[in-house]
Structure 1
Amino acid sequence: MPQTSYEQSRECLQKELDGCWFDHIPDTIGNEWGSCKKALELQFHVKDPLFTLELEICQQAIDGNFNSCFAWERMVDAVKVFILHLQLKALIFMGCLLEKPSLESPSDSDLGKTYSRDISSASFGSEVSLGSGIPCRIAFSYAGVRDIYLLAVARGISGKLILAEKHPFRSQRGVVIAIAPLAGLSPRIDEDHPTWLHLRIREFEPNFVKAKGGQSKVSTPPADGRWTLGFHSAKACETARLLILEETCKQRSSVESMLAPLLREDYLVNVLDSQGD
């Protein structure tokens, strides 16, 4: 039974790698490890931990609500349940609870590229190289239609989508006017207007929840943002969509590589081997 529950919890966490918060999974594991370990230690004094863990995993419901706030709560719950089951497995087979693992960022071949560094470190109002940016237009309610360039880049486990206006005096440079995380964009071409690209923007801010006391549940979540970009041709629109998907895939692969040792079936065996060295 514990092994089956552990496998289910691992599968739930692996599913979150396809969700809109996959880029936050490594940090969430680090943030939740200590509290989960403490909670499990307390459970030994009040009730059967097996019952508690079974209850936790049964409460993990994946509903049809795609609001990024609810997706965040589901991801955090999946992380907690996985940690609890992994710790219980360690207790059964090793006789002790595990210390927080060291999740190392994989090496990235793009790290040495000037363009990648330029974009990944960009902030609102900063200058960036337009590089292979794709020209498009966007309408802001407060500023009307603006001609911009779309840039997307993944660097390690981080990823950004940047909208930049061409610099008035430097033709190959742009000024950042908007930034969004790559994860969760879900780029979709409009069915009736093949030159329009719809993007979903995460508006929920996890750091705000932490500042309010660390509760992962939010009673009144903000609605996700929506951007619609217009391109000069359907081909350019499709190119932009594929660029976003490609960079998101690179980012997700980095996260998967970071988590791979922890999600391996023989993780506990490797821990024991490392302790014996």
Structure 2
Amino acid sequence: MDEKKIYIQQTAMQLFSSQGFFHTSVQDIAEACRMSKASIYKIFHSKEDILAQIVRDNLNHIIHRANYARNEQSKQPRDQLIAKLSREIEGLVEHREYVWMLYQSASINKQSDNIKALLKQGQLIMVNWHKDTLLETFGADIEPFVWDLAICMQGMSREMIAFAEKVDRYNFDFEQLAEVLVTSIESIIKHKTSSASVFSSEDMEPFNLQGHYGEIDQKDLWDRTIQQVRAFIHYRFPSYEKKQWVEAVDRLNQEFYESEPEMIVMESLFCFLEKNEDLQININILREIFQ
């Protein structure tokens, strides 16, 4: 994926997020990118094609975070759940333009089987991850109604992020927010008068991934994320600043592929690149892959 393609995707996602998919034209995207419509169509077949690629790339990041969060370790199951949810919420905030784009374009999945399948896959991965995480924390006693709890947890976290967009506030404590979610789930469990469920295991069997959330190649994700960082620097940074930032990214990439990367060098480069707020999302992903 070249830098121009990534730049078009990033610009389109911002427009889809702010004004909706159907209210954004290819001409709008071209003007925002300072390109011609013909240049856009040389890379993407249609506006829907751009959207499909955005969804696909963000889905890979969701899978990466879900798989990474499964490895979180903690002495107490409750603390472990809070740590996992905190990471999830942080990820949703980091990718809030994507999340808000989906809220703004709620009906897009009616237009394309391809996009509908991608969106469904992302939803299934996260609700299954919530279900399995809740079972690990609270045990088999909640199994009869665990899908209800998982759907509630997923809905609460997403609505909080969506509302944060409206009030323009993202500087909250992620662990504190995760604590609120866990306390809410504990209250539901404590005050539940029966094991009856709205969504039974039989209802949800077609959607049960059995712990298999999908795997992505870590080096492929690294390469694509490096390309995204380079594209952002190339198209968004002033000319006089580009050289030092590109050199830092290239040095980071070179060190990553060494047989024995120098930890001090990698950490120094991560810290330098994180100084730019617009790069922090992708640098966090790179840091997680390296760790």
Range into which the TM-score falls when normalised by the shorter chain: under 0.3
Q: Which has the larger radius of gyration?
A: 1
State the TM-score, normalizing by the size of structure 1. 0.25
TM-score (norm 2): 0.24
